[in-house]
Chain A
Amino acid sequence: MTSVPLVSVFSADDSSKVTAKHIPLPAVFQTPIRPDIVSFVHTNIAKNRRQAHAVNPQAGMQHSAESWGTGRAVARIPRVSGSGTHRSGQAAFGNQCRKGRMSLPIKVWRRWHRRVNIKQKRHAAATAVAATGIVPLVLARGHRISQVPQIPLVVEDKIESYEKTTDALNFLKRFGAFEDVQKVVSTKVVRAGISKQRGKKYRVRKGPLVVYFNENAKLLKAFRNVPGVEVVNVTRLNLLQLAPGGQLGRFVIWTQSAFAHLDKLFGTYRYTSIIKDGYQLLRPLITNPDLARIINSNQVQEKVQPAKTTKVLHEVQKKNPLKNTKAMDRLNPYAKKQRAAAVAAIKANTKGTKKIKKNKALKKASRAAYNKVAASLNDATKAAVQEEQDIKVKYFSVQKGAAQTE
Chain B
Amino acid sequence: MSQKKPQMQVEQKVPENIVKKTARDTKLREAVAKRRTERLAANKTRRAQWEKNAQAYENEYKAADKSLIDNIRKAKSEGGFYVPAESKLILVVRIRGINTLNPQVRQTLRLLKLRQLHNAAFVRVNKATIEMIRKVEPYVTYGYPSRAVIKNLIYKRGYAKINGQRIPITNNNVIEQQLGKVGIHSIEDLIHEIVTVGPNFKEANRFLWAFKLRGPRGGFIAKRKSFINQGDWGNREDLINDLVKRMI
List chain A positions with a Cβ less than 8 A from chain B: 292-293, 296, 301, 306, 313-315, 318-322, 327-328, 330-335, 337-338
Contacts and interface: CB of A to CB of B under 8 A. Distances in A.
A332 B20 CA distance: 46
A292 B21 CA distance: 10
B156 A320 contact: yes
Contact of B55 (A318, A327, A334): A334
A8 B91 CA distance: 92
A332 B186 contact: yes
A321 B152 CA distance: 9
Contact of A313 (B24, B173, B187, B188): B173
Given A331-B187, A332-B188, A314 B168 contact: yes
Given A331-B187, A333-B50, A313 B174 contact: yes
Contacts of A335: 54
B51 A334 contact: yes
B63 interface: no
Interface string B9-45: 0000000110011001000100000000000000000
A211 B162 CA distance: 72
Counting from the closest, the 3 A-B pairs by CB-CB distance are A334-B54, A318-B168, A315-B170
Nearest to A335: B54
A328 B171 CA distance: 9
Contacts of B170: 314-315, 318-319, 327, 330-331
Contact of A321 (B21, B24, B47, B155): B155
Nearest to A329: B47
B58 interface: yes
B169 interface: yes
Contacts of A328: 155
Contact of B17 (A292, A314, A338): A292
Interface in B135-170: 152, 155-156, 162, 167-170
A338 B54 CA distance: 10
A280 B173 CA distance: 63
A331 B167 contact: no
B107 interface: no
28 contacts: A296-B16, A313-B162, A313-B167, A313-B173, A314-B167, A315-B168, A315-B170, A318-B170, A322-B152, A327-B170, A330-B171, A331-B155, A331-B169, A331-B172, A331-B186, A331-B187, A332-B50, A332-B54, A332-B186, A333-B48, A333-B50, A334-B50, A334-B51, A334-B54, A334-B55, A334-B188, A337-B51, A337-B55
B156 to A, nearest CB: 5
B173 A322 contact: no
A141 to B, nearest CB: 33
Contacts of A333: 47-48, 50-51, 54
Nearest to B191: A332
A335 B51 CA distance: 8
Nearest to A315: B170
Contacts, number: 67
Chain B interface size band reads 20 to 34
A279 B186 CA distance: 74
Contacts of B173: 313-314
B20 A296 contact: yes
B230 interface: no
A332 B168 CA distance: 15
A181 B58 CA distance: 94
Interface in B79-115: none
Contacts of A292: 17
A337 B54 CA distance: 11
A34 B175 CA distance: 57
A292 B172 CA distance: 43
Interface string B50-89: 1100110010000000000000000000000000000000
A315 B162 CA distance: 15
A315 B171 contact: yes
B196 interface: no
A305 to B, nearest CB: 12
B29 to A, nearest CB: 12
B151 to A, nearest CB: 9
B42 to A, nearest CB: 15
A335 B186 CA distance: 13
Nearest to A338: B58
Given A330-B172, A332-B50, 16 more contacts: A293-B16, A293-B17, A296-B20, A313-B167, A313-B174, A314-B168, A318-B170, A319-B170, A320-B155, A330-B171, A331-B170, A331-B187, A332-B54, A334-B50, A334-B58, A338-B58
A16 B91 CA distance: 97
A314 B158 CA distance: 13
A332 B47 CA distance: 8
B24 A301 contact: yes
Contacts of B129: none
B30 to A, nearest CB: 13
A318 B168 CA distance: 6
